[in-house]
Structure 1
């Protein structure tokens, strides 16, 4: 006989703490890992006042989400295990009555989680303090801080976009957490595009009434939707999102969206919503440079060391990882997680040699993806609507010479090739010609903002090339 059935047949029940321990497992299955990790796992049972259970939520955001989506289910499930439970209240720390804080006889120890803790990379607190800044994300970070502080009136709708793993979710969570702390009266709601999609379609198809869903997503002063691209290609959901953005901003609210591309690049997006998003300010987060990757490694190492006391990695090993794994924060965290296994095996600080051996597969994969001179030539030629042979023509015509100089500049900056090697690959130019092209384009980049933006766009296209 399962425990749930036994409890339901027993009039005495199991007690509030044991009932909640069992209900947590059910909520994990019902809501899924993302919702559970963000909202249910930090929820703590604090007191039982004559059958009314008082829970402490970690943030105002969590309190709102739990009240809107989980409180009635939590109450119903608890009552099935403990019939004497009359109700549930979800409060913040400062909202608890003084007598609850002071009377030990009504305190209940935190219920032990039935579901095991999720991976460290998922449970890290996502705040501005743990967000690493650099040239690749500085604009997005600056706008995010403004919005979190309530100073982003110029951005009623803001779109931040990048390829996966570059910090969009971290940035949105930082906005939500800080906004809730700095302005407690400001209602904040953060959800993923998948949650938005599933909850809207569930309300539409099961209940034939989406009014409760509309009320939930349009009530906040600040609505944040991560992975917004998951809505694309779902016409009814896209129109609901369009209406939500319009209605919320019309009332003075604010919307922050994160997606894998800008409005022009979002696949299968309907034209009404695409046109709306094309008119909003946006920021792209680029791949971090070596210096930023090194800072990310430091932050992640500190986090892993807290979870695994004694874990350490030699500084030169971290330098090597930052230099050779030219990927996202997730790639770097994956490398550190691999080194934890190495540390457990050896029991001492992970040296450069040990790290190189443990990460051999990852480093080989990174080397295979290293940018080549041929790749630079291909992308530059495509950008200027010409063939690679045309790009390599030995001519001084401006329409060819300038793209060729730009390609040489990017080859110097983005590949490991030497100046003589680059000259040879461009048709036998002397290394001094490559130096001249490099310095000439570098000067133009400094002088001409439009040309600088053009070169940066080409560089991003090179990095994205498969």
Structure 2
């Protein structure tokens, strides 16, 4: 590790800054890129570290300019291989996971430096940076993800396991990657001498094929099977790859038989994975299968609130938070990206954040999310769920088995449609708006007291918003 900045590095940085100011414009540069400082260069693995004053600014620059920064650095210094954007004047060095059979297990996780990059590359697997912001503390918990969160914590704490492997599944942007990084951080904190391996299934396949060609499969197997915690992301990518699946199956068996920890993620449950051998699916189902469901309205609102805690200088009114949580329901990543965009544009244009500004700033995002849920659709979905005729929604019957689903449908109509209370009442057999108010209040009250009813409402919300 170089102890001080070499002149070529400083010169390159000054030239890159000038280029960014020219290409991005003075306002963007002054607000976001000018505060960046060169925090270090590691000539052993070619990592440049750039620091910004706050986590919010670092996240924004990392999202919008990390690729451009890397290209700019490589144009000046081809030996640069990675640019890491950090927060704070005393920004922590990134954690790298590396696998190196020549080193003892405790040397397999290195903080702030590459783990023998040349040897790791020779073995076909390179260290993977762990995102500092993806921790259990920064993960917002709600009903849709609490089982996955608790299972991940159990794995990371290192005590006795009643399940192995842990299989997490869910659509993109819901938090699977966050949980895997959090497990790595926590397991490393509790077991600093352990070896952790985290890689994508695609990388697993690529490295295995490379090892076959190099006639070095023994080295590949040893590197993975010596891990204390092995995490494989997006296992669906090995579908149809027979030789890779064969090796994957034996790796799973070795890890589990040795009492070590295995975590695997996919975009769907084991039963829904196609092109994967039945013996692998059986092994995956043998442990704990936990789904990471789409965030409901309450969880989305909590995510926004948690994100705003890192932006104390930003004023985002409550009505704007409610608007964003209601309108952007696809995934957490897109919700956070939309919030970052709104805050960044407000800072750049020096405008207050209100709903009109959000609609102007997020025109394309909101248009993509604009799916008009109808009262008829709500009535049909609730009727199917409770096995009653849809005509009962507008009937005069007041029997409990009909009245309760009708109240839930009114509640959902108030939550998911722009219709007024009188309009909703008319669509439910010409009922008065006070009946709708009573139904909404009753379901809100019951959701707090009746776990089964709350679960029903959450399921219906997810189905209608999907």
TM over 0.5: yes
1:371 to 363, 370, 373: 373
Aligned to 2:243: 236
Aligned to 2:349: 346
SS at match of 2:137: helix
Aligned to 1:327: 330
* Structure 2 counterparts to residues 64-83 of structure 1, below 5 A: 64=108, 70-72=117-119
2:225 to 212, 218, 231: 218
Rounded to whole Å, the distance in 1 between the matches of 2:296 and 2:232 is 27
- The answer to whether structure 1 residue 134 and structure 2 residue 142 are counterparts is yes
Rounded to whole Å, the distance in 2 between the matches of 1:186 and 1:143 is 20
> C-alpha deviations, 1:339-372, integer Å up to 9, x for none?
2552354235545543332223333443x22533
SS at match of 1:314: coil
Rounded to whole Å, the distance in 1 between the matches of 2:396 and 2:250 is 55
TM-score by length of 2: 0.64
Rounded to whole Å, the distance in 1 between the matches of 2:248 and 2:233 is 13
Aligned to 1:113: none
**Any unmatched runs of 5+ in structure 2?**
1-7, 9-40, 50-66, 72-80, 86-91, 100-107
- The answer to whether structure 1 residue 361 and structure 2 residue 361 are counterparts is no
SS at match of 1:128: coil
Rounded to whole Å, the distance in 2 between the matches of 1:20 and 1:152 is 37
Rounded to whole Å, the distance in 1 between the matches of 2:47 and 2:260 is 39
Deviation (angstroms), 1:378: 4.8
SS at match of 1:129: coil
Q: Is the 8 A contact 2:174 2:332 kept in 1?
A: yes
Pairs aligned (count): 375
> C-alpha deviations, 1:184-209, integer Å up to 9, x for none?
122221112222222223323x2245
> C-alpha deviations, 1:28-75, integer Å up to 9, x for none?
89xxxxxxxxx96569xxxxxxxxxxxx98437347378888332779
Rounded to whole Å, the distance in 1 between the matches of 2:454 and 2:355 is 38
Rounded to whole Å, the distance in 2 between the matches of 1:447 and 1:23 is 54
Q: Judging changes above 3 Å, is the alpha-carbon distance between structure 1 residues 273 and 245 closer, same or farther for their aligned structure 2 residues?
A: same
Rounded to whole Å, the distance in 2 between the matches of 1:247 and 1:209 is 18
- The answer to whether structure 1 residue 166 and structure 2 residue 174 are counterparts is yes
Deviation (angstroms), 1:125: 2.2
- The answer to whether structure 1 residue 254 and structure 2 residue 261 are counterparts is yes
Deviation (angstroms), 1:453: 5.4
Deviation (angstroms), 1:426: 5.7
> C-alpha deviations, 1:55-105, integer Å up to 9, x for none?
x984373473788883327799xxxxxxxxxxxxx9xxxxxxxxxxxxxxx
Deviation (angstroms), 1:234: 2.6
**Any unmatched runs of 5+ in structure 1?**
4-15, 30-38, 44-55, 77-89, 91-117
Cα RMSD of the aligned pairs, angstroms, is 4.7
Rounded to whole Å, the distance in 2 between the matches of 1:17 and 1:444 is 55
2:157 to 144, 149, 157: 149
1:272 to 275, 279, 288: 279
Rounded to whole Å, the distance in 2 between the matches of 1:141 and 1:411 is 27
Q: Judging changes above 3 Å, is the alpha-carbon distance between structure 1 residues 359 and 443 closer, same or farther for their aligned structure 2 residues?
A: closer
Rounded to whole Å, the distance in 2 between the matches of 1:298 and 1:456 is 20
Q: Is the 8 A contact 2:96 2:115 kept in 1?
A: no
Aligned to 1:462: 464
Rounded to whole Å, the distance in 1 between the matches of 2:308 and 2:441 is 37
Rounded to whole Å, the distance in 1 between the matches of 2:416 and 2:306 is 28
Q: Judging changes above 3 Å, is the alpha-carbon distance between structure 1 residues 418 and 273 closer, same or farther for their aligned structure 2 residues?
A: farther
SS at match of 2:97: helix
